[in-house]
Amino acid sequence: MTPPVSLLERAVELDRRGQPYAMATVVAVRRPTSARPGARGLIHPDGSIEGFVGGSCARPLVVREGLRALADGQPRLLRISKELPSESRRGDGIVDEVMTCHSGGTLEIYVEPHLPAPALWIAGTTPIAAALAELGAGMGFDVTMIDPFADAGLLPDGARVVVGDDLSALDWPTVGPYVIVASQGTWDEEALVSALRLDVAYVGLVASPTRAAAVRSWLLDEGVEPDRVFAMRAPAGIDLGAETAAEVAVSILAELVSVRRGRATFVAAPGPATLAGPSAVEAPMTLGPSDDIVLLDPVCGMTVDRATVRHLAEHGGAVYAFCSIACRSSFVREPTAYVGAGANTGG
């Protein structure tokens, strides 16, 4: 039997490491029972238990309720007795089980889940991304923001900031993260391909319905499996009529709460199947400081900033810049449909 103090110290250690467990505490007994009030046990996700909360009859029932508590996040009072209580003693959160051992007795055991803070990964540093980070941290999410041009000094406190574009390089949490792509056109597609390759709890895209449809079409064209594409929430969030960045963030976080608490009407947890095979996004071209580049996107006509250009393609001896990977993909498929006179070349 693990001494009570050591068991509590073990619980603190698991909390610090972000490891989930359920604490089972004997709160009342009617003898004969082998456990006494105050006895505790830690139930781990693999079904193992540390400590002592009863004999061979009670132990499997406690483990079962501990695993259920870890799955639904809700505490419960487990009552094991030869006699079921009257209706007047029943209540929400009480689980009654019949004691099958000949020794008899009654045990009341409180089972409480201890789950790590849910991870929220936000791709982008837009105003909506910043609002999501600030409000999400206030709601208890462990927030990480990732962007190729992230500047920690301009982002809200409470969020971990990573400069990059590969979500798979982030520290993986104990429970699959919630991923929101809020780069708003800057690198939506790359972030989504990266996210859809992972076993995450949720993937959402901040976009208009028209933009969301275009991104889904691009993902399918690039070979991302349909079950992954259609599991993505796009546009992300509950339709609240949101207009400001903070209101949009509230609508998205409300949807995450519904997923986390098992109230979502769509299937988004534990996430769609992992995408197999190589990434649909090619390795980007590199641009030297003296290389000539056509800065006018030949597909959409937008002028691209050389300092932050991410999407390049070569054709006919010229290097073209694109505002998004979707424009680049269209160009690569049929460059002669877009290349013509009047291209804007910058050095």
Domains defined along the chain, listed by start: 4-114 (no CATH), 119-260 (3.40.50.720), 293-346 (no CATH)
Reported pTM:
0.70
Spatial separation of the C-alpha atoms in residues 186 and 323, rounded to whole Å: 7
Among 201-210, 245-254, 303-312, name the one with the lowest average pLDDT: 303-312
> Taking 90 as the threshold, does the pLDDT of residue 136 lie above it?
yes
Bridge-based pairing of strands 49-51 and 76-81 is unpaired
> Taking 90 as the threshold, does the pLDDT of residue 247 lie above it?
yes
The whole-number average pLDDT for the span 287-316 is: 80
Q: How confident is the model at residue 75 (pLDDT cuts 50, 70, 90)?
A: very high
To the nearest 10°, the Cα dihedral for 329, 335, 337, 339? 120
Spatial separation of the C-alpha atoms in residues 142 and 174, rounded to whole Å: 12
CA distance from start to end of the chain:
74
Instruction: Give the pLDDT confidence score for residue 10 in this predicted structure.
Output: 93
The whole-number average pLDDT for the span 311-319 is: 84
> Taking 80 as the threshold, does the pLDDT of residue 271 lie above it?
no
Q: Please give the structure tokens belonging to residue 117.
A: 């803070």
Among 97-106, 138-147, 314-323, 325-334, name the one with the lowest average pLDDT: 97-106
φ, ψ of residue 252 to 5 degrees: the values are -70, -45
Radius of gyration of the chain (CA): 27
Bridge-based pairing of strands 106-114 and 142-147 is unpaired
Strand order in the sheet with 345-346: 311-315, 318-322, 293-294, 345-346
Q: Check if the beta carbon of residue 161 is closer than 8 Å to that of residue 152.
A: yes
Q: Check if the beta carbon of residue 117 is closer than 8 Å to that of residue 141.
A: yes
What DSSP string describes 147-189? ETT--GGGS-TTEEEEESS-GGGSPPPSSPPEEEE-STTSSHH
Spatial separation of the C-alpha atoms in residues 84 and 96, rounded to whole Å: 7
Burial class (CB in 10 A: 0-12, 13-18, 19+), 315: middle
Burial class (CB in 10 A: 0-12, 13-18, 19+), 95: middle
Q: Check if the beta carbon of residue 120 is closer than 8 Å to that of residue 168.
A: no
> Taking 70 as the threshold, does the pLDDT of residue 260 lie above it?
yes
pLDDT, one tens digit per residue, over 83-124 is 766 554 556 678 888 776 666 678 899 999 999 889 999 999
Q: Check if the beta carbon of residue 103 is closer than 8 Å to that of residue 32.
A: yes
Q: How confident is the model at residue 341 (pLDDT cuts 50, 70, 90)?
A: very low
Instruction: Give the pLDDT confidence score for residue 346 in this predicted structure.
Output: 42
Spatial separation of the C-alpha atoms in residues 146 and 164, rounded to whole Å: 6
What is the DSSP secondary structure assignment for residue 234, as one 8-state letter?
A: S
Q: Please give the structure tokens belonging to residue 247.
A: 């209101």
User: Where is pLDDT greater, at 243 or 305?
Assistant: 243
User: Under the phi-then-psi rule, with left for phi > 0, alpha for psi from -120 to 50, and beta for the rest, what region is 288?
Assistant: beta
* Residue of 260, 235, 240 lying closest to 250 (CA atoms): 240
Q: Check if the beta carbon of residue 315 is closer than 8 Å to that of residue 339.
A: yes
User: Where is pLDDT greater, at 57 or 208?
Assistant: 208
> Taking 80 as the threshold, does the pLDDT of residue 174 lie above it?
no
* Residue of 58, 75, 77, 79 lying closest to 112 (CA atoms): 75
